[in-house]
Amino acid sequence: MIAMTNPPRLIAWELTAGCNLNCVHCRGASTSSVPEGELTTEEAKHFIDDVVELGKPILILSGGEPLTRTDVFEIARYGTDAGLRVVLATNGTLLTPEIVKKLRDAGVQRLSISLDGATAKTHDEFRGVPGAFERTLAGIEILRKADFPFQINTTISRRNLEEIPKTFELAKELGAVAYHVFFLVPTGRGEESDEVSPADYERVLHWFYDMQKESEIQLKATCAPHYFRIMRQRAKKEGIEISVKTHGYEAMTKGCLGGTGFCFVSSVGEVYPCGYLPVLAGDIRAQPFKDVWENSEVFRKLRDPEELKGKCGICEYKKVCAGCRARAYAATGDYLEEEPYCIYRPGKK
Ligand code: HEM
Ligand SMILES: C[C@H]1O[C@@H](n2cnc3c(N)ncnc32)[C@H](O)[C@@H]1O
Ligand code: SF4
C-alpha cells in the first residue's frame, strides 16, 4: 500500500533573515545585516507555485522582519492570487498607514504583532532596542484605525513570566483578535537559562486552560505541546468531552506539528520542520517542495509516533502531544528524544 501524506496546513516562511531589532531570544539570531543569497522575487514566486501543487496551506510571511523586504507586497499578492491565505508576522515597529494599505491591497488576511511584555521595560529588554515598545504600540494603533485584524504573539521566558496575565489583558484592550503564546526554545540567540522551569511551564499552561474557557478572543499555545495533555487531563477531571464547541480549534489539532502539518522555509530556501529545529529536511532550490515534504527523512520520522524515544515514546498522550522536538534536540542533539520540559510521568495518572 502507498502511504498518503497529508499536505501542510501551515508554512512559516522567513522572507528575510534581516531585522531592525535585536531580540535576546531570536531563533534566527537576526540582525541588521542581511545574509547573502536570499531567495529573489522570482524564486519566491516559484516557491509559491510549488506549494500550491501540493495544497492550500496558510502562508505565514515571517522573518527576520518581513517588512524590511521591499517586495513583500508583491510576494503576498502572488500568494493571495494563488489561492493561499496569506498572513504576516511582524514586530510592528515599521508599520505606517501606507504599509497597512499595501498589505490590505495584497490580500494579507491578518498580522501577528510580537509583544513580549506589558511594560516598556520588559518588552524593550527582550527586544534589544529602547523605544521598541512605544513603536510597536504605535503600529498597533495604526492597525486599529485601519480596522485591520491582528493577533498578539508573546514569547514566554523567565524574563516576562510574571507579566503574562497583564500582557494578555493588554492584548485584549488593544483589540487583538487572538492571543498566541510561544514558549521559548533555546535556539539561535535563545538561551536555555531563560526557559521557565518545567513546573512553571505546567502552571502557566493550567492558567492558559482556564483563560481559554472564558476568553472571548482565541488563545493558542505554540511550542507547548504538553498543553494537549493538560487539556485532556483537565477535561477528564471536569467530566467534559473535548470538542470544537468546548475547546475551539485546539480540539482539532495536536501538540507539535513540525513536519506533519507545518514546516518552516528559511530565507535561502532551506526547509525545516519548524523555525526552532535546525535539522535540514531539504532545499527548494535543489528539489521541488513536494519532494521535500513527501520524502525527507526527518519529516517521515516526525510523522511516526513510534519513533519517539524516552518517556515520550511510552507516553499515552504521545499522539496528541509528541513533545517539542526542537527542545529535545537542543538538550540532547537527537530530535526524537523525550521533551525535557515536561513534568508528566507516563502511566502515573
Ligand atoms: C494569522 C496570523 C498568524 C501569524 C502571522 C502567525 C505567525 C506564526 C509564526 C511566525 C510562527 C512561528 C513559526 C516558526 O518560526 O517556526 C507560528 C507558528 C505556528 N502557528 Fe501561527 N500565526 C498566525 C496565526 C495562526 C493561526 C490562526 C493558527 C492556527 C489556528 C496558527 C498556528 C500555528 C502553529 C500550529 C504554529 C507552530 C507549529 C509548530 O511548530 O508546532 N497560527 N505562527
Ligand atoms: C513568531 C514569534 O516567534 C518568536 N520567537 C523568536 N525566537 C524565538 C525562540 N527562540 N523561541 C520561541 N519563540 C521565538 C518571536 O518573538 C515571534 O513573536
Ligand atoms: S524575534 Fe523577530 S523582531 Fe526580534 S530580532 Fe528576531 S526577527 Fe527581529
Ligand 3 pocket mutation pick from 38, 90, 91 by most atoms within 8 angstroms of CB: 91
Which ligand does the CA of 114 lie closest to? 2
Q: What is the pLDDT of residues 69-123, one digit of tens each?
A: 999 999 999 999 999 999 999 999 999 999 999 999 999 999 999 999 999 999 9
Beta carbons within 8 Å of 162's beta carbon, 6+ residues apart? none
Q: What is the pLDDT of residues 149-186, one digit of tens each?
A: 999 999 999 999 999 999 999 999 999 999 999 999 99
The mean pLDDT value of the chain amounts to 95
Q: Is 62 in the pocket of ligand 1 (CB under 6 A)?
A: yes
Atom of ligand 2 nearest to the CA of 188: 10
User: Does residue 310 sit within a domain?
Assistant: no
State which H helix or E strand residue 180 sits in: strand 178-183
Q: Is the dihedral of CA 236, 238, 240, 244 positive or negative?
A: negative
Q: Would the pLDDT of 245 be above 50?
A: yes
ipTM of the complex, rounded to two decimals: 0.92
Which ligand does the CA of 263 lie closest to? 1
Residue 342, CB-side half-sphere exposure with 13 Å CA sphere: 28
User: Does residue 309 sit within a domain?
Assistant: no
Domain enclosing residue 257, as ranges: 10-304
Q: What's the gap in Å between 145 CA and the centre of ligand 3?
A: 25
Any idea what the CATH number is for the domain that residue 225 is in? 3.20.20.70
DSSP letter for each residue of 322-344: ---HHHHHHHHS-TTS--TT---
Q: Is 151 in the pocket of ligand 2 (CB under 6 A)?
A: no
Atom of ligand 2 nearest to the CA of 114: 18
Share of the chain above pLDDT 70, in %: 97
Q: Comparing 57-66, 100-109, 234-243, 296-305, which segment has the lowest mean pLDDT?
A: 234-243
Tally of domains within the chain = 1
Q: Ligand 3: residues whose CB is within 6 Å?
A: 19, 21-23, 26, 28, 30, 63-65, 91
User: Does residue 262 sit within a domain?
Assistant: yes
